[in-house]
Amino acid sequence: MSRRPRISFLGPPGTFSDDALRTAAAGAGFEPAPESSILDALRAVRCGESTLALVPFENSTEGSVRPTLDALAFDVEGIAIIGEYDHPISLSLIARDEIALEAIGEVASHPQAAAQCARFLRAKLPDARVVPASSTAEAVRSLRGDESDGRAALGAASAAEIYGATVLAEGVEDDSTNLTRFVWIATQGTPRRAGGLWRTTLIFSELGEDHPGALVDALVEFSSRGVNLTRIESRPRRAGLGRYMFFVDLDGAAGQPGVDESIHALRSKADSVRVLGSYPVGGVGLP
């Protein structure tokens, strides 16, 4: 009998990554493996400690999750995106005990969560200081200490239940359609589920000698072959000012003629091209 797959995620228990994993893998037997950072979750897959990782990739309000992009670009090779899962994000204002909003002087939050609640914080807690935490669950867990008076946190309602805290207000995110796209990470291979629409994610950088239209010249390799780009984002290469890498999502799977031809042609324009994965769009459950 094969053992249950071990799946890494950004912990501790009670994060939105934890919520997403339990929803995406509902009914499947697996061992949850909370990690202290997204980088650690990816490294656990690379070194074989975990079978899969589920990590946040893009939020509908705040855009890309930079720790995930940077970890994939700089820190961990030999892993691939093999699936995705969209999870709705509803944030709550949480305190250790019932407390009036005007008595709150400090709000702990992961920076992404705080940004997703910016209007609420300005309107309802204008004098409260926002303190960064490594995760929303860690923000809620920090309320358990003896010095919790006047302190609150932004996090999932499930975290309040786990850590014995009190939900003061639900749905405090600025956008009620707030959604995060999570991606499944494995060491290699393709998803077991076939058919349907596919997406390919890649990184490229260093477009040769700088000249007007260099990026357009690179992107035309896709448009000229009818390959649709659904997302492009630049990130610093950490190699001096003015040097960037580009993350791209495109419609189609590696192995399809138009996609393969476009990527091959891009390699003639960019010094570095790395495919991070091809995977089904809008996956549900384990890949």
208-262 pLDDT, tens digit per residue, is: 666 677 888 889 999 999 999 999 998 887 776 767 789 999 999 988 889 999 9
Examine domains 6-89+178-186 and 92-170 and report if their fold is the same.
yes
Strands 52-59 and 63-64: antiparallel
Euclidean distance between CA atoms 239 and 85, whole angstroms: 33
Question: Strand 129-132 relative to strand 80-88: parallel, antiparallel, unpaired?
Answer: unpaired
Q: What percent of the chain has pLDDT over 70?
A: 93
Per-residue pLDDT tens for 168-222? 999 999 988 989 999 999 997 655 555 678 999 999 987 766 667 788 888 999 9
Nearest to 148 by CA among 126, 169, 165: 165
**Domain locations in the chain?**
6-89+178-186, 92-170, 198-280
Most confident of 1-10, 27-36, 38-47, 138-147: 38-47
pLDDT of residue 210: 65
Q: Could you give the CA distance from residue 74 to residue 172 in angstroms, rounded to a whole number? A: 34
pLDDT value of residue 1 = 35
Q: Which two tokens stand for residue 95?
A: 């305190």
Which of 77-81, 122-126, 146-150, 173-177 has maximum average pLDDT? 122-126
CATH topology of domain 92-170: D-Maltodextrin-Binding Protein; domain 2 (3.40.190)
Q: Which residues contact 130 (CB under 8 A, 6 or more apart)?
A: 106, 107, 108, 109, 114, 121
Please, are residues 5 and 130 in contact by the beta-carbon 8 Å criterion? no
Name the DSSP letter for residue 147.
T
Mean residue pLDDT across the chain: 89
Q: Which ranges in 8-134 belong to alpha helices (H)?
A: 16-24, 38-46, 66-70, 111-116, 118-124
pLDDT for the residue 186:
94
Task: Let me know: does 278 contact 198? Beta carbons within 8 Å.
Answer: yes
Calculate what percentage of the chain has a pLDDT beyond 90: 67
Place of tokens 């202290």: 36
In this structure, which topology does domain 6-89+178-186 adopt according to CATH? Answer: D-Maltodextrin-Binding Protein; domain 2 (3.40.190)
Q: How many residues does the chain have?
A: 287
Distances (CA, A) of 162 to 18, 189, 285: 12, 35, 24
pLDDT at 196: 78
- CATH classification for the domain delimited by 198-280, as one of 3.30.70.260, 3.40.50.300, 3.40.50.2300, 1.10.569.10: 3.30.70.260
What tokens does 285 get?
């459950």
pLDDT band at 147 (very low <50, low <70, confident <90, very high): low
**Gap between the Cα atoms of 207 and 229, Å rounded:** 18
Residues 197 and 90 sit within 8 Å (Cβ to Cβ): no
pTM of the model: 0.87
How far apart are the C-alpha atoms of 286 and 4, rounded to whole Å? Answer: 13
Q: What backbone torsions phi and psi does residue 80 show, to the nearest 5 degrees? A: -145, 150
SS3 258: helix
